[in-house]
Amino acid sequence: MQLLGGRSAAAFLSQYWQKRPLLVRNAIPGFKGLAQAPELLALAERDDVESRLVSRRRGAWQLRHGPFARADLARLPQNNWTLLVQGLNLVLPDADALLRRFRFLPYARLDDVMVSHAATGGGVGPHLDSYDVFLLQGPGRRKWDVSRPRPWRLDATAPLKILRDFRPEQSWVLDPGDMLYLPPGWGHDGIALDPCQTYSIGFRAPSDQELAREFLTYLQERIERPGRYRDPGRASPRHAAEVPANMVRRSSALVAGIRWHTRDVARFLGEYLTTPKPQVVFARPRRPAAPSRFAMLCAKRGLRLDLRTQLLFRGPDFFINGERAAAPARIRTKLRRLADERSLPAAVLPRVLLGLVHAWYLAGWVRIGERHERD
């Protein structure tokens, strides 16, 4: 794979993934970026797009969150600032296509594409990520200093998580099309040598605490325990304010009796991993096609998932945007193809499948036609 410097996915995963950095020269030959500066600035003005502005003046870091007013962006200085626009893949078809180049890893691990649009000298300071990241250089050049994981200390005075006493062990200058892979925990500091864009392909890595907390939340909506607390024949308490030992024992036994299975965990993960981020809004069709016309249009033009839609599956269960759909066996092959390829070619679709995807179409989760148009 050119993307991995001629290595196979298996070789990359065994030798580098979550082990050590990899620099790939000319990973995407002729890569010129995904959007011009005016388009990125316009995205930073939208309230459905997450954006941040990082700058440094007189040695002090400053952080502002979008959306930004056009006048504020027009007044940016010549040097030492970086505009970060998150979730490009949710609004730009080309960014979604870039994200899917990394499908040698499961979609459940893919997060998003972020762009760092920087003036000369711009950067976000030495920092680390708790997840794997590929840093793909667009227009311009950026110098990267990298250091292996160690017990880092943070600058308590900075509004970002800036590493104190950062000492680089390796340095590279990336030209357009070059890409640097970094495992979690590696310190890195990128400085724009001239006006440039760097595209970060990030991966989901929820903490154990987050998964445990969210799974318990998932369970609380599905637990049904009959009965009610009773204590016939109990004696009068010595201390009225003391929690009774019998109540503690019975409640402990009740909690210990709660059981779940692997399928419960799989369904939790499917719903959790496909739940849209808070700023995501789906656009319903203005003039929705009736089921019969929708079937005709799919047969003629095919259909595709909306850029914001996440569709995963596990066995007979399909998960779309935080909801689970149990699909009959006869349509699972096509649904798996839709999940993997994110589109289905023009064809006459089974009636059961049409009923399912038409409901998704009305919600704005599925679009008619195989090709995306720019938002």
Q: For residue range 212-264, what is the model confidence (pLDDT) as tens digits?
A: 999 999 999 888 888 899 889 889 999 999 999 999 999 999 999 899 999 99
Q: What pLDDT score was predicted for residue 168?
A: 96
Q: Which of 153, 173, 203 is the last residue of a domain?
A: 203
Q: Are residues 193 and 305 in the same domain?
A: no
Q: Are residues 61 and 197 in the same domain?
A: yes
Q: Which two tokens stand for residue 69?
A: 């007013």
Count Cα neighbours of 344 within 13 Å in the Cβ-side half-sphere.
27
Q: Are residues 275 and 193 in the same domain?
A: no
- Count of the separate structural domains present in the chain: 2
Q: Are residues 43 and 191 in the same domain?
A: yes
Residue 158 lies in a domain: yes
Residue 252 lies in a domain: no
Q: Are residues 187 and 278 in the same domain?
A: no
Q: What pLDDT score was predicted for residue 1?
A: 80
CATH of the domain at 177: 2.60.120.650
**At residue 263, what are phi and psi to the nearest 5 degrees?**
-65, -35
Q: Are residues 189 and 81 in the same domain?
A: yes
pLDDT at 375 over 80: no
Q: Are residues 50 and 117 in the same domain?
A: yes
CATH of the domain at 333: 3.40.366.30
Q: Are residues 212 and 192 in the same domain?
A: no
Query: Cα–Cα distance between 228 and 91 in angstroms, integer?
Result: 51
- Its domain, for residue 32, covers 2-203
Residue 321 lies in a domain: yes
Q: What percentage of the chain reaches a pLDDT higher than 70?
A: 99
Pick from 74, 86, 198, 82: which is nearest to 144 by CA?
Answer: 198
Q: What value does the mean pLDDT of the chain take?
A: 95
Q: Are residues 71 and 197 in the same domain?
A: yes
Residue 255 lies in a domain: no
| pTM score above 0.95 | no
Q: Which of 152, 171, 203 is the last residue of a domain?
A: 203
Residue 248 lies in a domain: no
pLDDT category of residue 107 using cuts at 50, 70 and 90: very high
pLDDT category of residue 139 using cuts at 50, 70 and 90: very high
Beta bridge partners of 326: 317
**Placement of tokens 């995807």 in the chain:** 357
b (16+ CB within 10 A) / e for 45-79:
ebeebbbbbbbbeeeebeeeebebeeeebeebeee
pLDDT category of residue 373 using cuts at 50, 70 and 90: low
Residue 238 lies in a domain: no
pLDDT tens digits for range 24-49? 999 999 999 999 999 999 999 999 99
pLDDT category of residue 328 using cuts at 50, 70 and 90: very high
Q: Are residues 277 and 164 in the same domain?
A: no
Q: Are residues 214 and 145 in the same domain?
A: no
Q: Are residues 106 and 186 in the same domain?
A: yes
pLDDT at 101 over 70: yes
Q: What pLDDT score was predicted for residue 371?
A: 77
pLDDT tens digits for range 170-219? 999 999 999 999 999 999 999 999 999 999 999 999 999 999 999 999 99
